[in-house]
Amino acid sequence: MKRSVVLWLVAGFIGYCVLPWYILEDGLWGFEWLFDGYPFDTDYAPALFLIFQGEKLWLSPILLFLLLPLIGDVFTRGLTERSAISTRRANVLIVAGIAGLAWVAFQGYGIGLRGWNFEALTTLFGPLEDRQFGMGAGALLIVGAFLFFLTTGIAGRGAVNGDVFVVGAIGLIIAMVAVFIFFPIVQMLASAFTDEDGGFSVGTFVAKFSENKIWGLGCVTGDTRCGVAWNSLFLAVLVGFFTTLLGLIFALVATRSGFRYGRVLRGLTVLPIITPPFVIGLAIILLFGLSGAVTQFVAELFGLQPTRWIYGLPGIFIAQVLSFTPIAFLVLIGVVEGVSPSMEEAAQTLRASKWQTFRTVSLPLMRPGLANAFLLGFIESMADFGNPLVLGGNYDVLSTEIFFAIVGAQNDQGQAAVLAIALLVFTLTAFYAQRRWLGKKNYTTQTGKGDGGMHVLLPKRVMLPCYVIAGIWTTFTLTVYGMILYGGFVELWGLDHTLTLKHYTTAFAVGYNDFGIHFKGSAWDSFWTTLKIAGIAAPLTAILGLITAWLLVRQNFTGKAAFEFGTMLSFAIPGTVIGVAYILAFNVPPIELTGTGAILVISFIFRNMPVGVRAGIASMSQLDKSLDEASLTLGASTWHTFTRIVLPLMRPAILAALVFSFVRAMTAISAVIFLVSAEYNMATSYIIGRVENNDYGIAIAYSSMLIVVMLTMVAITQLLVGRADTRRRSKAI
Amino acid sequence: MRIAHLLLVPTLAVAAGMTIPAYAAEKLTYYCSAQEDWCQLMADGFEEATGIDVRMTRKSSGETLAQLKAEASNPKGDIWWGGTGDPHLQAAEEGLGEAYESPMRGEQNDWAIRQAEAAGNQTIGIYSGALGYGYNEDVLKANNLPVPECWADLLKPEYKGHVQMANPNSSGTAYTTLATIVQLFGEDEGFEFMKGLHKNINQYTKSGSAPIKAAARGENTIGIVFLHDAVAQAASGFPIKSVAPCEGTGYEIGGMTIIKGGRNPESAQKFYDWALSAETQSRALEVNAFQVMSNKNAQSSPLAPDLESIKLIDYDFAKYGSADERKRLLKKWDDEVSVLPQ
């Protein structure tokens, strides 16, 4: 038997015989259950102990499916041909895997908190006098075991050249995406087709979807407002375009201008991304609002009446461009660096001018990066929630409308789902358009062949405007951040500018008592929780994202397009919808996660995974496949090739994914606001509370603290992961 | 070796399980929809008073109701305290609350008990506050505007672009405003009023108290809000004056609900009784909560708007709190008012 099968068999039996089958109310890692009647208490018992006590007998078939691979040799008796035997073994594994998964799912969904979950089951088997809670650690291991039986079996039948690792990875990601993206979203979207009596109705959907509030064109034809869908679309296109442009400018200045402070610039552009939501909005209000410093100054200078011009499209636009330019920068810098100098040198050898080289060689080679950056900006803007909330004025956009459809006095989940579908149409169209635009051209520039050139400096006519724009933008960013830092130290921001430390002491006071250090500040609780959750989520997100990217770029398998669609889908779905969908899907058995830290971690992983995937794809499509092939030809396994060849070459992508997911986990708000619980309260949710309370001081003090922490983390990650070594000369001589 | 370990762990665990008594501290999962510091004060106060471990989540009343609905088949919370009464009534309407009659009931004001009676004792009033508006003195002066005193004043053309209120679709406060105007002027004239007001509104905010907070920071002139919210801004040092409109005005009653099927029903009842006591309610002043408390003996601040001196309408909570009437009014407002050009 294969070693991996043995390994998963052992895991499966541990899951069945050792770990508690059901989820524990006080958590697994507290280990209180070990001293509280384990293994016989039915709350904590492993499945095997439950069955021996005559409880939950529906768990017994699982043992049978678990034993199937062990007795698999029975089925190969009489066969002599080697290939026939291994095919038969693979078949046994597939049967065990499918049957096991199906049974676990069936019993989980069939039997819930109040006995049978479905009427049909009650009529079929009569009422059930028993019930069960959500599945726990034991069930998780067993599901893992069955899943890998299945994938090993499929590989054994020759799929993807019989590569166990690749099929396993594909299976794992499909399973996770199915459970944590499709299942909740389908449940949520089903409510778009639900009429008031709870029945299924297409008419309800059509009526809600075609409403004037969504698609109205009043702003074009008259003086009323346009539908929210158009508002969102217009804003997102604008933001996508400008963030890509600015991101490109920064990337060029940082890498190709001979600009000495490129590193400083990198640091600066990363600032907005590590900023908690609302803070940029608040700073912009204090600068450009009706009583804002800039507005008042300009009004006095020119004798104008100050206006509320910032509220609406201009405000959201400025705040979003500030927030999302760094994302474009992060995507583009890798691409700009990755463009092979030898191509540019070739162009110049052929007598192209600097400008011609830039326009006809460098820029086209950056197309995948540009398209990715635009797509990210577009979708980020569509899904952004914090900035429109603070600065939106009367310019309604889909994301906030979805939020208020759910939490508002209306409380109409169907309406939220309908709006979410409109949003999805846009983001998926963007996704499709981006793929069309990229076409099937070849952008490979890192080939593993001799590539010792040096990047061509920018032509003057590009360089100068880049410098100017980057300079203005940097000054603006610095002003905004200066305001933010300052705001934490004044009595009443915007009104009473006496310096004080009181906001910091309220939030982060540390005292000593009999038990040692005592964190008495009101923010510590959420602060530690946030660090913990972000710290767990980031590496998981990066790993999952990069594996997915590698599968997408390097492996060929049936249904790859659908696979890609599935993994990118969560990015196109706004956090608010994910939040509510998660609550609906994971509040009841078999997967009972609400109120735990796990649901936060999971939501972060699947919300941020697409960024890891995109960063991975962008940098991997620049790595020539011959590198992998060389490794494979020399006898290395796929796993070896992935860890020894691909991963080291992808350090920038890994860094980007790690940093981005950590930071996003610390600053995300839209999904989080639905998923936080008393025990797991997050920093952003605490900050919202303070902002709602007009208590900007503490909100800003807390945000400054988070910014400092995230900067430290980013620096540490950078040190640990290091920079990619492409073996090129990095400095002009 | 491994197998020995596997056997050893459960054996030890069983042995330990028999010697150490099961540790089960009393717990309370507490959903709070009032302002953050008030929520925190209640949580800490209850922990101090009873030793029960409190896990608090603060969310607006709309969000909490959404959560209660989503969690209905497996409630995680035990008690829901604070936030405007309508969502509490709605929760009661949908059977999400547990009926309970507290021994503290005798000490409560009539309006608090009426709220309980309307909801089959699934909720109770804990505080109340009158609707009105507040204005920023400095901004008003800078724009040479007269001081408004009545609802009708807000329709004057000179206030164009100076008034802010929340969107009734998203805010309980704004819905209370809409319902108040309808009860005060009658439905037809009330909607004419809303249409007139619409011309002067510079923004419909999402959250109920946002208009007065914007006014406090000089981003707006007049905000239609609950008076205690306006007073709280003034108490924080902002140049805000509050106005109880001369025609009379509506009010809200903050609610408290024990969540049906919660995991710690005894703790929830303890909290319920404790939250209704005069001593607890007097502490609201520590966090600038200027609502009138339900317990007759609770202290009130001199800054707090005096409900006695305000002309209050006879607000019909049963009618205007019901889901159907709410849907109808909001739809009418959406179709007839919000679509008009400004």
Residue ranges and CATH numbers for the domains of chain A are: 3-157 (1.20.140), 214-441+455-462 (1.10.3720.10), 505-698 (1.10.3720.10)
Q: Poorest-confidence range of A143-147, A287-291, A571-575?
A: A571-575
The yes-or-no verdict on residue B30 having pLDDT over 80 is yes
Residue A733 pLDDT: 36
Model confidence band, residue A7 (pLDDT cutoffs 50, 70, 90): confident
Residue A274 pLDDT: 77
Q: Is residue B263 in a domain? A: yes
Q: Is residue B88 in a domain? A: yes
Residue B237 pLDDT: 83
In this structure, the answer to whether residues B105 and B246 fall within a common structural domain is no
In this structure, the answer to whether residues B329 and B211 fall within a common structural domain is yes
Q: Is residue B342 in a domain? A: no
Q: Is residue B16 in a domain? A: no
Residues in chain B with CB shorter than 8 Å from the CB of A53 are none
Residue A101 pLDDT: 92
Q: Which among A257-266, A448-457, B53-62 has the top mean pLDDT?
A: B53-62
Residues in chain B with CB shorter than 8 Å from the CB of A693 are 35-37
**Arithmetic mean of pLDDT, B164-191:** 90
Q: Do B35 and A679 touch (CB under 8 A)?
A: no
Q: CB contact, 8 Å: A694 with chain B? A: yes
Q: How many domains does chain B have?
A: 2
Q: Do A408 and B206 touch (CB under 8 A)?
A: yes
**For A26, nearest residue in chain B (alpha carbons):** B24
In this structure, the answer to whether residues B106 and B189 fall within a common structural domain is no
Q: Do A692 and B40 touch (CB under 8 A)?
A: no
**Arithmetic mean of pLDDT, A632-653:** 82
Q: Which residue has the higher pLDDT, B171 or B295?
A: B295
Q: Is residue B52 in a domain? A: yes
Phi and psi based region of residue A556 (left: phi greater than 0; alpha: psi -120 to 50; beta: remaining): beta
Q: Is residue B316 in a domain? A: no
Q: Poorest-confidence range of A112-116, A639-643, A651-655, B142-146?
A: A112-116
Structure tokens at A619: 């940098």
The yes-or-no verdict on residue B193 having pLDDT over 80 is yes
The string of pLDDT tens digits covering residues B232-260 is 888 888 899 999 999 999 998 899 999 99
**For A31, nearest residue in chain B (alpha carbons):** B13
**Arithmetic mean of pLDDT, B305-310:** 79
| Contact map slice: A 38-57 vs B, CB within 8 A | 38-40
Residues in chain A with CB shorter than 8 Å from the CB of B67 are 583, 674
**For A37, nearest residue in chain B (alpha carbons):** B17
Range of the domain at B153: 130-250+323-337
In this structure, the answer to whether residues B156 and B242 fall within a common structural domain is yes
Residue B7 pLDDT: 40
Residue A678 pLDDT: 63
Residues in chain A with CB shorter than 8 Å from the CB of B216 are 694
The yes-or-no verdict on residue B200 having pLDDT over 80 is yes
In this structure, the answer to whether residues B34 and B54 fall within a common structural domain is yes
In Å, how far is A356's CA from the nearest CA of chain B? 50
Considering CB atoms only, which of B57, B65, B71 is closest to A411?
B65
In this structure, the answer to whether residues B244 and B135 fall within a common structural domain is yes
- What count of CB pairs under 8 Å joins A to B? 159
Report yes or no: A679 and B55 within 8 Å, Cβ to Cβ: yes
Q: Tell me, letter by letter, the H, E, C secondary structure of chain B.
A: CHHHHHHHHHHHHHHHHHHCCCCCCCEEEEEECCCHHHHHHHHHHHHHHHCCEEEEEECCHHHHHHHHHHCCCCCCCCEEEEEEHHHHHHHHHCCCEECCCCHHHHHECHHHHHHHHHCCCCEEEEEEEEEEEEEEHHHHHHCCCCCCCCCHHHHCHHHCCCEEEECCCCCHHHHHHHHHHHHHHCHHHHHHHHHHHHHHEEEEECCCCHHHHHHHCCCCCEEEEEHHHHHHHHHCCCCEEEECCCCCECEEEEEEEEECCCCCHHHHHHHHHHHCCHHHHHHHHHHCCCCEECECCCCCCCCCCCHHHCCECCCCHHHHCCHHHHHHHHHHHHHHHCCCCC
Q: Is residue B270 in a domain? A: yes
Model confidence band, residue A145 (pLDDT cutoffs 50, 70, 90): very high
Residue B14 pLDDT: 39
**Arithmetic mean of pLDDT, B8-12:** 41
**Arithmetic mean of pLDDT, A301-309:** 82
In Å, how far is B107's CA from the nearest CA of chain A? 30
Q: Which residue has the higher pLDDT, B129 or A212?
A: B129
Model confidence band, residue B320 (pLDDT cutoffs 50, 70, 90): confident
Residue A410 pLDDT: 60
Residue A53 pLDDT: 85
Residues in chain A with CB shorter than 8 Å from the CB of B207 are 692
Q: Note if the bond before B265 is cis, omega within 30 degrees.
A: no
The yes-or-no verdict on residue A615 having pLDDT over 80 is no
The string of pLDDT tens digits covering residues A168-212 is 999 999 999 899 988 888 877 777 787 766 667 787 788 778 777
Q: Poorest-confidence range of A472-476, B67-71, B195-199?
A: B67-71
In this structure, the answer to whether residues B192 and B330 fall within a common structural domain is yes
**Arithmetic mean of pLDDT, A546-555:** 86
In this structure, the answer to whether residues B220 and B117 fall within a common structural domain is no
The string of pLDDT tens digits covering residues A204-226 is 788 778 777 788 777 777 666 77
What CATH number does the domain containing B238 carry? 3.40.190.10
The yes-or-no verdict on residue A517 having pLDDT over 70 is no
In this structure, the answer to whether residues B134 and B235 fall within a common structural domain is yes
Q: Which residue has the higher pLDDT, A270 or A664?
A: A664
In Å, how far is A584's CA from the nearest CA of chain B? 6
**Arithmetic mean of pLDDT, A149-154:** 90
**Arithmetic mean of pLDDT, A508-527:** 74
In this structure, the answer to whether residues B148 and B206 fall within a common structural domain is yes
In Å, how far is B112's CA from the nearest CA of chain A? 22
The yes-or-no verdict on residue B126 having pLDDT over 80 is yes
Q: CB contact, 8 Å: A258 with chain B? A: no
Is A551 exposed, middle or buried (CB count within 10 Å of its CB: 0-12, 13-18, 19+)? buried
Q: Do B206 and A492 touch (CB under 8 A)?
A: no
Q: Which residue has the higher pLDDT, A266 or A609?
A: A609
Model confidence band, residue A447 (pLDDT cutoffs 50, 70, 90): low
Residue A132 pLDDT: 77
Q: Which residue has the higher pLDDT, A443 or A548?
A: A548
The string of pLDDT tens digits covering residues A475-507 is 888 888 888 888 888 887 767 778 888 888 888
**Arithmetic mean of pLDDT, A257-283:** 73
In this structure, the answer to whether residues B79 and B68 fall within a common structural domain is yes
Residue A623 pLDDT: 78
The yes-or-no verdict on residue A79 having pLDDT over 80 is no
Residues in chain A with CB shorter than 8 Å from the CB of B326 are 409
In the numeric block, the tokens 């159907």 are attached to: B324
In this structure, the answer to whether residues B216 and B150 fall within a common structural domain is yes
Q: Is residue B65 in a domain? A: yes
The string of pLDDT tens digits covering residues B86-121 is 889 889 988 999 999 999 999 998 888 988 988 889
Assembly ipTM:
0.71
Q: CB contact, 8 Å: A304 with chain B? A: no
**Arithmetic mean of pLDDT, B210-237:** 90
**Arithmetic mean of pLDDT, A580-593:** 78
Share of chain A above pLDDT 70, in %: 88
